[in-house]
Amino acid sequence: MITMKQSIILAAAILCTHTFVFGQSEQQQQHLLDSVLTAAHQKNSFNGNVLVADKGKVLFRKSYGIAEESTGRKLNPESVFELASVSKQFTAMGIVQLHKQGKLQYDDPVAKYIPELAFYKGITIRNLLNHTGGLPDYMDLFEEKWDKAKFATNEDVIKIFAQHKPDTLFSPGAKYEYSNTGYALLGAIIERVSKKTFGAYLKETIFKPLKMDHTFVYRSRYQPQKVDNYALGYVQDSLGNKVLTNSFGKDFYTYYLDGIVGDGMVNSTLDDLLKWDRALYTDKLINAEDRKQIFASVKTTDGKETNYGFGWQVSKNKQYGTIASHSGGWAGYVTYIERHMDNDKTIIILQNNSTQFTQIPAKDIRKVLYNEPFPIAEVMKKATPTAAELKQYEGVYSNPEAPVKLTIAVSGGALTAQATGQGAFPMDAYENHTFRFDDAHIKMIFDPAAHTMRYIQGRVDVVFTKE
């Protein structure tokens, strides 16, 4: 029973589904993947690039949506994205390589390389790698203490911690808590030990050897430059419009923290990330013992699994085997990489929209890869009804259990809907008498002969009758 007006207008989004059992052919898998992602894009929950590979062979590679809203420039499979926290695996690899060169040890105290923080006792490089160091989040500290007229860098992270000495959250190794601070300090350690910038070091030791020619460290606000085929990152403002985070001003955290590397700021493409994935099965950069360290879930001192290694989340699944993955989210980007290490399958997802509707469609992609049945979202064709055809839907619709009525009208060549006491909103037309307002995930299906309209939004699914 509907009990609140808001349950109709503001209900959560839902997929219109039917169950499909996948076949085995590669062509059918490609079709299903495209259906899943097209439907997600239509519902504003996906805007980006996807690559799916099986044993290194690209099974699917496609773009959905816009790279630059102001010009309408579209994404393409070669578009460059900020990776956000997916960058952490490269920071971890940088540390592993310094270890291999004998320039540091995993169990060295952080204070050996950052003596300014010697008052934090017992925290090791290993603790930073697997998020068991217990340091508080640097972003909260900068929000409170930093002069936001200035860009912050990794050295500033060290300085602000040295100055204010915030308490640790727990003893080193006692707990797991995801820490951007830890990876910012790892970025600083790489720079201090290698005597190179973070970007130059990763380029020399990872990107160039693997021919990852479109991968680089880039801070678009701190050191702006022209990057061809760049996907700009968009968020929603208070009115629901897609905007760049720069529009929030220079005292917004994604602006003044743009100089910090290690926890993010690597930029890359689908194809370069696949090169990275393939290299991790070989000895090009590291050996089997190194891989064992990187992809092993560490335990806390009380024996609990953290499901995190060195820059990778690690899990075991009865069907899929060992999975190494990582997600990222920053300044309009939502990114993800997933490696099925026992079955050699790869999922790479790069998105440049971060809104209330954005989702990472890895679960459905995984099901396609393993030929599992699951409800697949319905893909609908847009329609262009005439003014006369639109006229047949006009009227006031009600349901005795609903606290509001819906007025359907034609305005500006489109069908609009207005609930009692609320503003009208336009709807896009689709086949089979279906209209949608995707900003709120509203769907209306009309039956002109029966004078009814089926309203669907989230868990709300109600039939209204024209008065």
CA–CA separation, 197 and 220 (whole Å): 16
| Residues paired with 354 in a beta bridge | 235
290, β-bridge pairs: none
Q: Which of 352, 341, 345, 349 is nearest to 368 (CA)?
A: 345
DSSP for 310-362, please give it. Answer: SSSEEEEETTTEEEEEEEEEETTEEEEEEEETTTTEEEEEEESEE-TT---TH
**8 A C-beta contact, residue 382 and residue 428:** yes
What's the CA gap between 169 and 120, in Å, rounded? 11
- Residues in contact with 186: Cβ distance below 8 Å, sequence separation at least 6, in sequence order: 91, 92, 94, 95, 125, 128, 129, 262
**442 vs 458: CA distance, rounded Å:** 8
Active-site residue, 85 included: yes
Largest CA distance in the chain: 80
- In angstroms, rounded to a whole number, what is the distance separating the alpha carbons of residues 285 and 283? 5
Residue type, 315: S
Tokens, residue 107: 């169990």
Closest CA to 229 of 267, 275, 276: 267
The C-alpha atoms of residue 111 and residue 116 are separated, in whole angstroms, by 7
Residue tagged active-site, from 7, 63, 79, 85: 85
d(CA 296, CA 312): 9
Q: Which two tokens stand for residue 404?
A: 């509001």
List the catalytic residues. Answer: 85
